[in-house]
Amino acid sequence: MSAHFSASRRAAWLLAVAMMFWSCTEAATARRAEVQRHLKKLNKQAVKSIKSPDGDIIDCVHISKQPAFDHPLLKNHTIQMRPSFHPESHLFYESELVSKKKLPVQSQLWHKNGRCPENTIPIRRTKKDDLLRANSVENYGRKQHRSTPNPLSAELDLLNENGHQHAIAYVEGDTYYGAKATINVWEPRIAQGNEFSLSQIWLLGGSFGEDLNSIEAGWQVSPDLYGDDNTRLFTYWTSDSYQATGCYNLLCSGFIQTNSEIAMGATIYPISRYEGSQYDISILVWKDPTEGHWWMQFGNDHVLGYWPSFLFSYLADGASMIEWGGEVVDSEPGGAHTSTAMGSGHFPGEGFRKSSYFRNIQIVDESNTLRDPTDIATFTEQPSCYDVQTGNGGQWGHYFYYGGPGRNSNCS
């Protein structure tokens, strides 16, 4: 009786183990299939592919085959190859950008090994490992909810709950039709793979609840997203406070790229060194008053493309707040602060060649003209961890230094 009972229990245990193994195998097979489907959706057929020195593959995809056109509302969209107006020059076809003497500009690492032909756009190829690092295939390329700093809220504890920390300058109280800045480029230290550090411009509309509209552009270091610690050009958009809409770069349908030379998500080269050579990038985002689309420019002469106006509710009319500055994710458990750096990893008081800066910050007004902002305010959750200091004057116009090391003797 005892032997029979023992054999029955052993058989049941073996059956349970077999079922568990079968279930795990089925789940793994389903995940592999899901990853392959998503890779096929993201990685469009290339006219030419370029291997970057950093290991990236840049696919030159025909402009009409880019991910934006997976969007149902863009199926019959006619690509607008250039904006009808430009805030630096009024009618774009008369732009000084066309005749301006070319100066050395910030480059991308993949340019060392080639360029994309006309009528194509460069797209960083998504790899299987990129998707496997994400907590789910569905969430790949998306920010977490509530990652935008709300300097008008007194609920700092609530802001810190999601682990995002900021050091920003901002303007609000008017309607804005664009923003510009020249951003110092660094390679901040990232303490953990699921954290990031970025420096960017935010153009915001709506409330900081469930309906926030945001367009974002700048540079970031994000091991989770890219699999390395390289400093990369990025964009982001959302029309529902990071819930179901929007993504980084071209990782979903939305942004329409028209430029064949600059790849979203590609490594920026070279970068600044402490007490050494300094490098910066210029970013301008503005609303075309004729078509209503939001355009982005990188440097002095690379108009990259646009976010169609129909993607947004509040931003279809204009932005109600502009923010410039840094953001990090702090995922340290137990209340200890992360040592992920923001900017150069040094506080604003150290100044040029040591602390990171934004210079020549400007807004685009209702007459489609770039002008200096008024009533600039600053915001940071924990100035002992990351801080911001503004200034004004000289060739830098309105500027600020920002950032910090994270965890230190005054920030723990």
pLDDT higher than 70, residue 100:
no
34 vs 172, residue with greater confidence: 172
pLDDT at residue 237, as a whole number: 97
Over the chain, what is the mean pLDDT?
89
Distance CA 44, CA 204 (A): 31
- The predicted pLDDT at position 73 comes to 86
Q: What pLDDT was estimated at residue 154? A: 52
| CB 299, CB 105: distance < 8 Å | yes
Q: What confidence category does residue 207 fall into, taking pLDDT thresholds of 50, 70 and 90? A: confident
Look at residue 335 in the predicted model and tell me its pLDDT.
76
* Residue 94: per-residue pLDDT: 38
* SS3 annotation, the chain: CHHHHHHHHHHHHHHHHHHHHHHHHHHHHHHHHHHHHHHHHHCCCEEEEEECCCCCEEEEEEHHHCHHHHCHHHCCCCCCCCCCEECCCEEHHHCHHHHCCCCCCCEEHHHHHCCCCCCEEEEECCCHHHHHHCCCCCCCCCCCCCCCCCCCCCCHHHHHCCCEEEEEEEEEEEEECEEEEEEECCCCCCCCCCCCEEEEEEEEECCCCCCCEEEEEEEEECHHHHCCCCCEEEEEEECCCCCCCCEECCCCCCCEECCCCCCECCEEECCCCCCCCCCEEEEEEEECCCCCCEEEEECCCEEEEEECHHHCCHHHCCEEEEEEEEEEECCCHHHCCCCCCECCCCCHHHCCCCCEEEEEEEEECCCCCEECCCCCEEEECCCCCCEEEEEECHHHCEEEEEEECCCECCEC
The Cα 37–Cα 324 span in angstroms is: 37
Q: How confident is the model at residue 411 (pLDDT cuts 50, 70, 90)?
A: very high
Q: Which of these, 178, 161, 223, lies nearest to 198 by C-alpha position? A: 223
Q: What is the tens place of the pLDDT at every residue in 1-16?
A: 555 557 777 777 777 6
Reported as a pLDDT band with limits 50, 70 and 90, residue 245 is very high
What's the CA gap between 1 and 384, in Å, rounded?
A: 72
Q: Is the pLDDT of residue 24 over 90?
A: no
Question: Other CB atoms closer than 10 Å to residue 354's CB: what's the count?
Answer: 17
Q: In angstroms, rounded to a whole number, what is the distance separating the alpha carbons of residues 67 and 248?
A: 12
- pLDDT level of residue 92 (50, 70, 90 thresholds): very low
State the amino acid at position 289 in one-letter form. Answer: P
Which of 399, 397, 253, 407 has its CA nearest to residue 345? 407
Contact indicator for 164, 329 with CB cutoff of 8 Å: yes
Higher pLDDT, 145 or 254: 254
pLDDT band at 147 (very low <50, low <70, confident <90, very high): low
Please give the positions annotated as active site: 216, 327
**Percentage of residues in the chain with pLDDT exceeding 70?**
88
pLDDT at 336: 87
Residue among 239, 226, 160, 156 at smallest CA distance from 198: 226
- φ, ψ for residue 111, nearest 5 deg: -60, -20
Q: What is the pLDDT of residues 346-388, one digit of tens each?
A: 999 999 999 999 999 999 999 999 999 999 999 999 999 999 9
* Structure token digits, residue 216: 């974002």
Using alpha carbons only, give the angle 186, 189, 191 rounded to the nearest 5 degrees.
155
pLDDT of residue 101: 37
pLDDT one-digit tens code per residue, 161-172: 468 899 999 999
Model pLDDT, residue 97: 40
Measuring CA to CA, which residue among 370, 288, 277, 367 is closest to residue 83? Answer: 288
pLDDT of residue 128: 94
Of how many residues is the chain composed?
Answer: 412
- Give the burial class of 70: count Cβ atoms within 10 A of its Cβ; 0-12 exposed, 13-18 middle, 19 or more buried: middle
| pLDDT exceeds 50 at position 319 | yes
Provide the token pair at 126.
């998504």
